[in-house]
Amino acid sequence: MSRRTPSERDHRKDPRDVVLAPVVSEKSYGLIDEGKYTFLVDPRSNKTEIKLAVEKIFSVKVDSINTINRAGKRKRTKFGWGQRKNTKRAIVTLKDGTIDIFGGPLS
């Protein structure tokens, strides 16, 4: 039985695999004024991983994280019943700074 090296045990997720996309909705825009940003995240990630990923990607300090597990809706299709995938969202409150969620070049 072989032992794992420290690098194999200390496997960390890539930040872009944890934070998938920003949520673009009226409600999430309203929260931006309060310094809260909403992201779709990997359903297997925890609050600590989300915090580290947001801090690394956007170079900001995170104050708190609230997570929401959303069950996929059951939808009627041409072929019977289907199901949308389950998602997890994270509402990130920043200590200071802002995040440009659109990230495109200024024109």
pLDDT tens for 14-65 read 999 999 999 999 999 999 999 999 999 999 999 999 999 999 999 999 999 9
What is the distance between the alpha carbons of residues 28 and 99, in angstroms, rounded to a whole number?
Answer: 13
Quick check: 72 pLDDT over 50? yes
Please report the pLDDT score of residue 107 as a whole number. 46
Cβ(94)–Cβ(35) below 8 Å: yes
pTM: 0.80
- Sign, Cα dihedral of 25, 29, 31, 36: positive
Confidence label for 100 from pLDDT (cuts 50, 70 and 90) = confident
Per cent of the chain over pLDDT 90 is: 76
**What's the distance, CA 84 to chain centroid?**
18
Residues listed for the chain:
107
Neighbours of 61 (CB within 10 A): 12
